[in-house]
């Protein structure tokens, strides 16, 4: 008796080329990651605004007249410390920082405007990485660069479509006219 070889059948899964977030468990994993990263941003916004004590104390809150950017950069020591301190003193920087934290947190948590959220996330994380140089524990990588990459992954995987408002957001009239808001 000879063995008969059957042709191998491969199923094509729609969307598999772009890391389809609807494919379990990857879609759910990206969704949980997106929501968690969104909550990190929301916590940073509310803590810096109201001084909830983890880590911003009430006396260093934005509402008491303190500078969130100056508070974050006060311990910076490295090749970019002078530039970061100078930028943190410019008018409007605190407002831009806080809007970035709030907007990114809301967008990631809800799964909307993922491209813009990933861009702001990457910008904030790369700046935080540069502010930490030189690093004591690893000369090349730290968690800020990983967060930046995760944000890009969230946007490219369509993570806002799973357990989020991404699909509905993508069909809205605003987003159909301005695809960059996807």
DSSP string, 105-173: HHHHHHT-SHHHHHHHHHHHHHHHHHHHPSPSS-SS--HHHHHHHHHHHHHHTTGGGSSSSHHHHHHSH
Residues 168-179 have a mean pLDDT of 96
Provide the percentage of residues in the chain whose pLDDT is more than 70: 87
More confident residue, 81 or 12: 81
Mind listing the pLDDT tens digit for each residue in 5-34?
656 554 444 444 455 555 678 999 999 999
CB burial string 9-47: b at 16+ within 10 A, e below: eeeeeeeeeeebbeeeeebeebbebbbebbebbbebbbb
* Residue 34 in domain: yes
* Residue 78 in domain: yes
Q: Please report which confidence band the pLDDT of residue 139 belongs to, taking 50, 70 and 90 as the band edges.
A: confident
* Residue 57 in domain: yes
Number of domains the chain contains: 1
What is the model's pLDDT at position 12? Answer: 47
What is the model's pLDDT at position 14? Answer: 46
* Residue 14 in domain: no
Question: Which residue matches tokens 């030189």?
Answer: 134
Kindly tell me if the per-residue pLDDT of 48 is higher than 70.
yes
Mind listing the pLDDT tens digit for each residue in 140-151?
899 999 999 999
To the nearest 10°, the Cα dihedral for 10, 15, 20, 23? Answer: -50
What is the model's pLDDT at position 32? Answer: 96
Domain holding 34, by residue range, is 25-181
H/E run at residue 39: helix 26-50
* Residue 15 in domain: no
For residues 111 and 42, what is the distance between their CA atoms, to the nearest angstrom? Answer: 14
* Residue 148 in domain: yes
The model carries a pTM of 0.84
Name every residue whose Cβ is closer than 8 Å to that of residue 74 and which is 6 or more positions away in sequence: none
């Amino acid at each position: 008796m000879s063995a008969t070889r059957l042709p191998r059948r491969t199923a094509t899964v729609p969307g598999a080329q772009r890391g389809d977030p609807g494919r379990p468990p990857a879609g759910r994993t990206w969704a949980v990651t997106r929501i968690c990263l969104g909550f990190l941003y929301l916590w940073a916004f509310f803590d810096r605004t109201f001084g909830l004590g983890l880590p911003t104390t009430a006396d260093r809150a934005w509402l008491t007249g303190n500078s969130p950017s100056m508070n974050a950069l006060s311990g910076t020591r490295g090749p970019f410390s002078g530039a970061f301190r100078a930028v943190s003193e410019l008018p409007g920087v605190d407002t831009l920082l806080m809007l970035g934290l709030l907007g990114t947190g809301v967008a990631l948590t809800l799964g909307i405007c993922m491209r813009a959220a990933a861009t702001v996330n990457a910008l904030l994380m790369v700046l935080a990485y540069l502010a930490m140089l030189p690093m004591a524990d690893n000369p090349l990588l730290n968690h800020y660069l990983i967060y930046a990459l995760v944000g890009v992954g969230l946007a490219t995987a369509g993570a806002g479509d799973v357990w989020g408002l991404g699909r509905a957001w993508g069909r809205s009239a605003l987003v159909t006219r301005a695809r960059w808001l996807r």
